[in-house]
């Protein structure tokens, strides 16, 4: 193969790789520090929640008693106007921060997800709206834990 | 290769309820296998939802999400036929993407 052709191919390859990777780089990187935090307070601090006001506008639908901690359905609705994100913290889990959802234009501040709960714990939901934080919590009792196996 | 996701949408007016199931072990790093060795962490970290190429939702999740994760989301201002793209990326750099039309 002649060297010029090779260069052209290499350049095209690099460009294609760049185009493929570009949209992924636009994502915020996974928050390793927050997800690695061992306490709920630390995890919340790292994601920028210094304090939050208890709010009745956040609804948490979850079983009071979960027989199987490996699969606990949690349904969250924020009725706080302009909610941009929702963080889910399972206080007694080894790594309490379970998930953070960022809602763009068009996505309603609602999510349903199945989570693992190691032992009976409060589940705290923190919603961010207009730069302020609002929270609600619910205690879930677990008969069989969901983290070991 | 990751197995394809199962996506179901229900359109009510201009709001679509999206339910997605991802096939993934979501290993916590705390479980031991039959011979007593710790099974290393393997879990989805990021989920993105796009409609007609525009990102509507992004989630960062931990190993606390159950095995074979199921999520429900609600998207407003959408119509039948809109292109829905859901993608995930796990801690091993493995990724999966599924595309469907809102119905």
The better pLDDT of the pair A13, A100 is held by: A100
Write the pLDDT tens digit of every residue in B40-68.
999 999 999 999 999 999 999 999 999 99
Q: Is residue A125 part of a domain?
A: yes
Pick from A44, A77, A104, A121 the residue to mutate for testing the B interface (most B CBs within 10 Å).
Answer: A104
Q: A3 to chain B, minimum CA–CA distance in Å?
A: 34
Structural domain contains residue A106: yes
A20-72 pLDDT, tens digit per residue, is: 554 444 456 899 999 999 999 999 999 999 889 999 999 999 999 998 999 99
What is the structure's pLDDT at A8? 60
Share of chain A above pLDDT 90, in %: 74
DSSP output for A89-100: EETTSSS-EEEE
A12 occurs within a structural domain: no
Count helices and strands (H / E) in chain A.
3, 9
Residue A99 located in a structural domain: yes
Residue in A102, A108, A116 closest to B66 by CB: A116
| Domain containing residue A66 | 33-144
Q: A130 lies in a domain?
A: yes
What's this model's pTM, rounded to 2 decimal places? 0.87
Residues of chain B contacting A145 with CB distance shorter than 8 Å = none
The CATH number that applies at residue A37 is 2.60.40.2470
Q: How far is B65 from chain A (nearest CA, A)?
A: 4
Q: How many domains does chain A have?
A: 1
CB-facing half-sphere around the CA of A59: CA atoms within 13 A: 8
d(CA B2, CA A106): 28
Which domains, ranges and CATH numbers included, belong to chain B? 6-28+40-101 (2.60.40.10)
């Amino acid at each position: 193969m002649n060297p010029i052709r090779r260069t052209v191919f290499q350049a095209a390859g690099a460009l294609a790789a760049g185009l493929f990777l570009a949209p992924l780089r636009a994502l915020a990187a996974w928050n390793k520090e927050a997800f690695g935090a061992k306490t709920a307070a630390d995890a919340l601090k790292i994601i920028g929640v210094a304090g939050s006001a208890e709010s009745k506008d956040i609804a948490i639908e979850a079983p009071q008693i979960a027989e199987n901690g490996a699969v606990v359905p949690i349904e969250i609705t924020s009725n706080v106007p302009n909610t941009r994100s929702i963080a889910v913290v399972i206080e007694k889990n080894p790594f309490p921060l379970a998930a953070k959802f960022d809602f763009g234009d068009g996505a309603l501040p609602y999510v349903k997800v199945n989570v693992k709960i190691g032992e009976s714990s409060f589940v705290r939901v923190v919603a961010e709206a207009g730069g302020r934080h609002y929270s609600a919590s619910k205690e879930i009792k677990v008969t069989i834990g969901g983290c070991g196996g | 290769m990751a197995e394809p996701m199962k996506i179901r949408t229900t359109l009510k007016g201009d709001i679509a309820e999206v339910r997605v199931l991802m096939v993934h072990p979501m290993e916590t790093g705390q479980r031991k296998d039959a011979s007593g060795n710790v099974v290393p962490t393997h879990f989805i970290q990021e989920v993105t939802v796009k409609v007609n190429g525009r990102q509507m939702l992004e989630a960062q999740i931990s190993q606390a999400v159950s095995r074979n994760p199921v999520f429900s989301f609600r998207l407003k201002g959408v119509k039948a036929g809109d292109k829905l793209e859901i993608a995930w990326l796990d801690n091993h750099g493995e990724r999966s993407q599924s595309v469907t039309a809102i119905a």
